[in-house]
Structure 1
Amino acid sequence: MQQSALPELAHTHTRPIHWVATAAALAGVVALSSLLQPKPATAAQAAGPEAKPAPVTTAAPATTGVDFPLECGPVQALVVKKASGDLDGDGAPETVAVVHCDAPMGTPPDGVYVLTQGADGTHARVVATLVDPKARNTVTSLSVTDGAVLATLLGYSTADVPSCCPDVKDSAKWQWKDDRFIRSTPAGAHSV
C-alpha cells in the first residue's frame, strides 16, 4: 500500500465531539422548524364577494348487488353495457344498464334498466325498465347524452325469424318528461 504524500487531516477522523455537534445542530433545526409552522390547510376557499358553494358531486350508482327484474333460472344476470348521467335534472347521476342472462349458448335478449342510488346510499335500485327482455332485442350501443338515453336495438320483424339472425335495426331515445321516460325513435327503424 502506498502512503499518501499529504499529511493526515484532523477532520477526516470522527471523534465523539463531532457526533455531539451534529446532534446539537439537528436538535436546533427541529426545534426551530416546530416554531415556524405554516397555517393549517383547509379545504374551503376564502369567501369573497362572488364566492359560491361548491357543487356536491355524487358517484353514479354501481350495478353490483342490484336485483334486476330478469328471470335467469340457474345462471346469473350479466351487465354487458352501462352509461351514466343526470337523466331527471336533479343534479345526481343515474346509471343505465344493459343486462341479459349469462347463457352458455346463444344470444339472450337484453333488458335496459335505469338505476338510481338507494335510500340507504349504498345499493342502487331499478327505477325504470326501458327495454323488456320479452321484446327479444339486443342492444348494440348505449350512451347518455344531454339527459337522454340513446340506444341501437336489433330485433325481429316476426316471431318466425330465428333468434340467431335479427332482421330489424332500430335507434331509440328516451327522455325524462312528466315523471316518466318517454321513448322516441330519432332515426327510424330499418332492415338489417
Structure 2
Amino acid sequence: MTELPHTRTRMVHWLSTAVALAAVVGASSFIQPADASAQATLSVKAAGPAPDPEAARFPVDCGKGPGVKVDVVDHGSADFDGDGRSETVASVRCHSGTGTPPNALYVLAAAADPEAPPRVVATMLRTKERMTVQDLKVRGTTVSAKLLGYSSPSVPSCCPDKQRRVKWEWKDGKFALEAAPVPGAPESV
C-alpha cells in the first residue's frame, strides 16, 4: 500500500508547524475583535449565574442562509477577575452536518441588562486560525485546552495532523497565553 504524501512527517514539518502554531496562538492572545476586550469589561454590575453560552451572539461568520448557526461545542465557567460574578468560556463553531469546522474560543460576561444576551469580552481563538479545540477545562483562573491544527493547507480538514496543549491564565487584568512544547519537537536549552 502506498503511503499518502501528507502522512509522512519529517522534523522540518514539526519545526515549521511548531513555529507557525506558536505564532498563531501567540497572536490570538493579543488580537481582539473591535467590540471585545479582556480588560476592565469583565466586571459588570449585574449579579447572577454564569452567562449562558447558548444565549450569546458570537462574532463568527458562518455564511448566509437558513439554518446556518453557531454551535456551542463546550464551555466552562469561573470568576476570573474575583468580582463575585462568573464568566463563561465557550468553544464554538459553525453548524455543519458533516466534517469538523474550526473552533473559536470566547469569554462571555453577563450584560448589565439582565434581559440582554451575554457579551463577548475576550477572544482566545478565531475560526480563521483553522484549529479544533479539545479537552476544554476551566479551573480557578486558568483555561486549558488541546488545539488540533494542520502542518500545511494540503492536509485534509477532516484530519488535523498537529496538536498542542495551551493554557490561558488570568493575570493583571487579561489572559496570558502559555503553550506547552510541541510533541516530538526537540527540547530547547
TM-score, normalized by the shorter chain, greater than 0.5:
yes
Deviations 1:56-101 (A, max 9, x none): x831111133110000123110001011111122221110001001
Task: Find the counterpart in structure 2 of residue 113 from structure 1.
Answer: 106
Q: Which amino acid aligns with 1:113?
A: Y
Q: CA deviation at 1:145?
A: 1.0
Over 4 Å off, 4+ runs = none
Give yes or no for the alignment of 1:97 onto 2:87: no
Contact 1:173–1:183 (8 Å) recurs in 2: yes
Contact 1:89–1:147 (8 Å) recurs in 2: no
Task: Find the counterpart in structure 2 of residue 152 from structure 1.
Answer: 146
* Mapped partners of 1:91, 1:148: distance in 2: 16
State the SS of the aligned residue for 2:93: strand
Task: Find the counterpart in structure 2 of residue 67 from structure 1.
Answer: 57
* Mapped partners of 1:89, 1:151: distance in 2: 22
Deviations 1:125-178 (A, max 9, x none): 100110111111111111111211111111112222221111111111112223
Task: Find the counterpart in structure 1 of residue 157 from structure 2.
Answer: 163
Could you say what the CA RMSD is over the residues aligned between the two structures, in angstroms?
1.5
- How many percent of aligned residue pairs carry the same amino acid? 46
* Mapped partners of 2:152, 2:174: distance in 1: 29
Q: Which amino acid aligns with 1:129?
A: T
Matches within 5 A, 1:1-192: 58-73=48-63, 74=65, 75-122=68-115, 123-185=117-179, 187-190=180-183
State the SS of the aligned residue for 1:64: helix
Pick 1 or 2: higher relative contact order, CA cutoff 8 A, min separation 6.
2
User: What is the TM-score normalised by the length of structure 1?
Assistant: 0.65
* Mapped partners of 2:82, 2:155: distance in 1: 40
User: What is the TM-score normalised by the length of structure 2?
Assistant: 0.66
Q: CA deviation at 1:103?
A: 1.3
Q: Which amino acid aligns with 2:58?
A: F
Runs of 5+ in structure 1 lacking a partner? 1-56
Change (3 A) 1:146 1:65: closer
- Bigger radius of gyration: 1
Runs of 5+ in structure 2 lacking a partner? 1-46, 185-189
Q: CA deviation at 1:112?
A: 0.5
